[in-house]
Structure 1
Amino acid sequence: MMNLAVYLDSTYLKTPEQSGLSQQQTIDKVVALCHEAQANGIFAVMIRPEFVSLAKDELRRDSSNVKVGTVIGFHEGTYTTDLKMEEATKALDAGADELDFVLNYTAFIEGNTELVKKEFLEGTGLTFEKGKVVKWIIETAALTNEQISEISTLLYQWAKENFPLEYHKSIFVKTSTGFYPAGEGKPNGATIEHVDIIKKHCGTLSVKAAGGVRNAQEAKEMIAHGVGRIGTSSAVAILQDGKGSEAY
């Protein structure tokens, strides 16, 4: 029987303004997420950078093996490379185990691949200096299939040229932030079609699906198509084989 828990990043990324909760209520949600992950054997929690220390402390008290991941340049991805590196350094210093960078997909769409390459190399290098895992969110809902193919190929080429093969499994191409306004009823999260394109072109890199995976069947289908990790706000519902209500 498949252990779905080891594929899951249990996610809470809303600000108090986005959720309508107070700062303390948001803190309480993060704490609850950590305990929930520990109780259910979930691989990681994914929270905003300002809560990394809090999450690490909570999990340390439980002598937990649950990893703490956070997002960098979230959610638009248009932060400068310097700002992303500053945010990433602070997160690593706070104890983050995994960094999910939002790739500057706007720059990529505009043809500025040199900027995208620079942030990829600097962000990946910084993360690997600390022996951690890095994921690059390409925001598939903002891209055409051809662009998804192109950026997946480029990330693989840059990794192959600059980082040893044994590190590649710790570089993920990730589908989505879950916050992109796709519109017209289109999915703003992971789809099998997009996962297949990424998997076909990302070579020896890993793949993470995020957004829209809310039950066990959807999770198993993603895994069958080569996904190594799944970001979801419905982690417990997936494990209980119920359908979650949140969009991410």
Structure 2
Amino acid sequence: MKTINNYIDHTALKPTTSQKDIKTLCEEAKQHRFYSVCVNGHYVPLAKALLAKSNVKVCAVVGFPLGAMATEVKVFEAKKAIADGADEIDMVLNIGMLKSENFVNVYTDIRDVKLAIGNKVLKVILEISELSKNEIIKACQICLDAKADFIKTSTGFSKSGATLTAVKMIRKTVKKGAKIKASGGIKTLEVAEKYLEAGVDRLGCSAGVSIMEELQKKNS
């Protein structure tokens, strides 16, 4: 049976993140047996080496945090991350193209990254705070067509992060066609549990350690 730590992508994506921060992140991930660490591409080799004797996976972000670069650049970035040892890719959807209703571009952007990484897990970040209800639904439909494995709510770098309303909307749209990762603003055990109750498959957060400490106090 899964426990909350098995759902957590332990995250360090700030531009100021140092090698020391990555070492701490990986030690914490091993200690608490988190599902993965989520890092910027430059730190994939370091994270992979630090986690070599553990079951913790390495997730790398692509097109982060804006999603507005050329598809070819995202493809190269994704391939490089996989070659360096990443197990999963979290790519940012091209929000501007979605708002322009250039749905073919949005589709090919996701499809080409998925084709580039093969059977590795692809999560597509929608940035829900920037989208209308109809845009979220359309983005989910495109993600399904492009064979994305997960739909992720947010980068954590925009106006707000995950919301239960958006998670429920995404679940209703994709049904069992894709998994869901809630990310952004998940800082307490109570909030994390609410998202798990809503049916998310992964939690992206930098507060994983404090969430586990809360859980330990609750169970003691």
- 1:235 corresponds in structure 2 to 208
User: Is residue 90–residue 124 contact of structure 2 (8 Å, CA) maintained in 1?
Assistant: yes
| 1:66-77 mapped onto 2 (5 Å cutoff) | 66-77=56-67
Residue number in structure 1 paired with 2:131 = 143
**Paired residue type of 2:214:** D
Please give the residue correspondences for 1:7-156 in structure 2 after superposition, counting only pairs within 5 Å: 7-16=7-16, 26-60=18-52, 63-128=53-118, 131-156=119-144
Residue 153 of structure 1, CA deviation: 2.0
Determine the C-alpha separation between the residues in 2 that align with 1:240 and 1:53.
29
Provide the C-alpha distance between the structure 2 equivalents of 1:240 and 1:41, rounded to a whole number of angstroms. 13
Whether 2:174 is the aligned partner of 1:202: answer yes
State the Cα distance separating 1:43 from its structure 2 match: 0.6
Structure 2: distance between partners of 1:240 and 1:199: 29
Return the offset for 1:96.
0.3
Distance 2:146 2:193 in 1: 30
Aligned to 2:162: 190
Deviation at 1:27, TM superposition (A): 0.6
TM-score with structure 1 setting the length: 0.83
* Unpaired segments ≥5 residues, structure 1: 20-25, 160-167, 183-187, 243-248
Identity of aligned residues (%): 34
Specify the SS of the correspondent of 1:111. coil
Deviations 1:168-193 (A, max 9, x none): 7xx0000000101x2xxxxx100000
Deviations 1:52-98 (A, max 9, x none): 000001111xx111000010000000010000001111101000000
Unaligned 5+ runs, structure 2: 216-220
Q: How many residues align?
A: 214
Aligned residues of 1:38 and 1:66 also touching (Cα < 8 A): yes
Task: Show the counterpart of 2:156.
Answer: 178
Q: Which residue of 2 aligns with 1:162?
A: none
RMSD of Structure 2 on Structure 1 (CA): 1.4
CA contact (8 A) 1:210 1:231 kept: yes
Please tell me the residue identity of whatever aligns with 1:96.
A
1:102-155: CA deviations, max 9, x gaps?
010111011111111101111112222xx3111000100000112111211222
